[in-house]
Amino acid sequence: MGQPMRPRLVVSALLPAAVTDRARAEFDALVHEGADDMTQAEAIAAVRAHRAEGLLLVNTLRLDAATLAALPADLRVAATCSVGFDHIDTAAARARGLIVTNTPGVLDDCTADFAFMMLLAAARRAHEYDDIMRAGWRRRIGQGDLLGVKVSGQTIGLLGMGRIGRAMARRARGFDMRVLYHARNRLPPALEQGATWFRDLREMLPQCRFLSLHAPATRETDRIINAGTLALLPRGAVLVNVARGGLVDEDALYDALTSGQLFAAGLDVFRAEPDFDLRFAALPNVILSPHIGSASVETRNAMGFRALDNIAAVLAGRGPIDPLWS
């Protein structure tokens, strides 16, 4: 008797070795090995050539309606290694009967750790100090020079209070911060943990010395941070965005950072990625990172394993663990 047939999988992104090793061990896997993640055309060609039933992707592969239409009907499940799924046309996927899954729950802590790091770094000018040291220091810095903003004990507003927002709130409480949040619905007290809910974002903003974004990119949240909402923050506030660039009007953000309305910002995500607006790179009061909030060994492995678990479950007929719809 031969080996039982293993399900056919295409891994379209460059993933940690632990994840690709497992993909090869458990599936008949075509694992991409180029210099960059597969393009849409490459993914379509690979899924066709391999007659794949499963596709493992990350958010660099946009599954828009045209790409979904070009994928063969044999493909039964697409698992994105991300919690966000704004790169996927869910209506088109659903219409063609494709099951789509994401990886909620496994990246909350690392993403919130990263957001809090960006908050601290932006407020306390960590990157500017690092630049000075790398340039050799060798200059006097007076008691009144290069001062940052105190973090402990201040008020933070969270836009979005899902799992990552709540993980951010836990970190903020560790710094004795007062936590406010805006979300469509108020959370039950066990999840709110003393945070104050604002139905209206515009009422929350004037109280926020810090504002951290933790909402998905949707039609409703597009440019929710704009000239009008930025003007409602107290002068000298600090903004952190590790969620999605689409939440922010970047021209308004640039103006707020150069006018002093914002003291600083920590930005991990941008409207255009990877070709982000280079005006931000010229601003000393911005700390930048390349959409990398969940990037620890443990979390990136956990995300990949979770995506593989989802694909295995679907292809074994058990149904998805993390379906985007049911």
Let me know if 291 is a catalytic residue: yes
Q: Are strands 99-101 and 155-159 parallel, antiparallel or unpaired?
A: unpaired
Query: If residue 80 lies in a helix (H) or strand (E), which one and from where to where?
Result: strand 77-80
State the catalytic residue, choosing from 171, 244, 271, 300: 244
- The least CB distance from residue 254 to ligand DGY, in Å, is 22
Q: How far is CA 144 from CA 133, 141, 154, 169, in A?
A: 18, 8, 21, 31
Let me know if 87 is a catalytic residue: no
Task: Tell me whether residue 83 or residue 172 sits nearer to ligand DGY (CB atom).
Answer: 83
State the catalytic residue, choosing from 22, 182, 291, 306: 291
Task: Tell me whether residue 107 or residue 159 sits nearer to ligand DGY (CB atom).
Answer: 107
Do the beta carbons of residue 42 and residue 12 sit within 8 Å?
yes
- The least CB distance from residue 317 to ligand DGY, in Å, is 27
The binding site for ligand DGY (CB under 6 A) comprises 59, 82-84, 107, 294
Nearest to 7 by CA among 326, 321, 298, 309: 309
SS3 121: helix
- The least CB distance from residue 242 to ligand DGY, in Å, is 8
Task: Report how far Cα 242 is from the mean position of its chain's Cα atoms.
Answer: 6
Please report which residue ranges of 15-89 form alpha helices under DSSP H.
17-26, 40-50, 65-70
- The least CB distance from residue 82 to ligand DGY, in Å, is 3
Task: Tell me whether residue 60 or residue 285 sits nearer to ligand DGY (CB atom).
Answer: 60
State the catalytic residue, choosing from 76, 178, 273, 279: 273
Task: Tell me whether residue 59 or residue 67 sits nearer to ligand DGY (CB atom).
Answer: 59
Let me know if 273 is a catalytic residue: yes
Active site (catalytic) residues: 244, 273, 291
